Amino acid sequence: MSTSKAFASQADLADKKITFEQLSPHAWAYTAEGDPNTGVVIGDDAVMVIDTQATPVMAADVIRRIRAVTDKPIRYVVLSHYHAVRVLGAAAYKPDHIIASDDTLSLIRERGEQDKASEIGRFPRLFRNVESVPPGLTWPSITFSGKMTLWLGKLEVQLLQLGRGHTKGDTVVWLPGERTLFSGDLVEFDATPYCGDAYYSDWPATLDNLAALAPLALVPGRGAALKGEAQVAKGLAGTRAFLSDLFAHVKAAAAKGQDLNSVYRETYAALKPRYGHWVIFDHCLPFDVSRAYDEATQYRDPRIWTAERDVEMWKSLEGG
């Protein structure tokens, strides 16, 4: 660790190569070398977008690629969770409905404004066109609990809450007829899970529930789309291993009475050899260890991250 390490992703300014690929007859993945992914479902009569990109200007590139393959109307936007990089581009799609879980709506109400300010401070490249974001927050027009089924013509699309993990409101989108899954940030591939709002104790069981669907294709929150049972299993296993390794280190150190700074230093050193090459490792780890320490000690539910708390934590753990 270096005391000169830039805050969060403020040094990450290089544009990424974008891929838009078809995974199954109705499913597409928009990925960008570890930047937040967007999923696209093209039904018989309408299009669904899963996660929107961070700004309407960035969403315009998704729309351009959708329009290269279909002229069907974009009627649905699904929010896999509430984080700003996933939701603030929603206005560009002009959908009939924005859909989220009831739990995600409660998080938007409780901490959406703080999260928006926090993430804009962390990701200058992703929010490069932040002036294109309309005032206020992205609000769902439809919410559900547990399960919701939509039909895009004859195509069945299931929206499922399979457990807490990345947040308490995580929603996945499942095409049962094609065994294609859009996981949001419950699964990452060669990219570091962000766990600042996570439930470490619940997340592994949620991954079990995803695996039980037996997907043949999976669009993770970050990283390349996963094609075939072997790649899907690798993505699930990698995410699980990172979570388990990190939480085990933090719990063991916290049980010895070590303070957060020493827990962070030890956990960073332990995880760096295996996971340090993953996208946004240095960005995520201070937030991830802080949340794990909270959960292992006194905070079952994640505390709210504000722009001010972000900087205070970073200075404490990274030395400036």
pLDDT tens-digit profile, the chain (320 residues): 444 576 555 555 567 799 999 999 999 999 998 899 999 999 999 999 999 999 999 999 999 999 999 999 999 999 999 999 999 999 999 999 999 999 999 999 999 999 999 999 888 888 888 899 999 999 999 999 999 999 999 999 999 999 999 999 999 999 999 999 999 999 999 999 999 999 999 999 999 999 999 999 999 999 999 999 999 999 999 999 999 999 999 999 999 999 999 999 999 999 999 999 999 999 999 999 999 999 999 999 999 999 999 999 999 998 74
Taking alpha carbons only, the member of 229, 318, 282 closest to residue 12 is: 282
Report residue 219 as tokens.
Answer: 């669009």
- The per-residue pLDDT for 129 is 86
- The per-residue pLDDT for 101 is 98
Strand ordering across the sheet containing 19-24: 19-24, 27-32, 35-42, 47-50, 74-78, 97-101, 142-144
Taking alpha carbons only, the member of 150, 202, 205, 194 closest to residue 174 is: 150
- The per-residue pLDDT for 34 is 83
Taking alpha carbons only, the member of 21, 28, 24, 67 closest to residue 51 is: 28
Helical spans, DSSP H, in the chain: 56-67, 84-87, 102-122, 203-212, 229-255, 260-275, 281-297, 307-318
CA angle 145, 79, 275 (to 5 degrees): 110
- The per-residue pLDDT for 1 is 40
Taking alpha carbons only, the member of 236, 245, 247, 242 closest to residue 187 is: 236
CATH number of 19-318: 3.60.15.10
Domain ranges of the chain: 19-318
Model confidence, pTM: 0.94
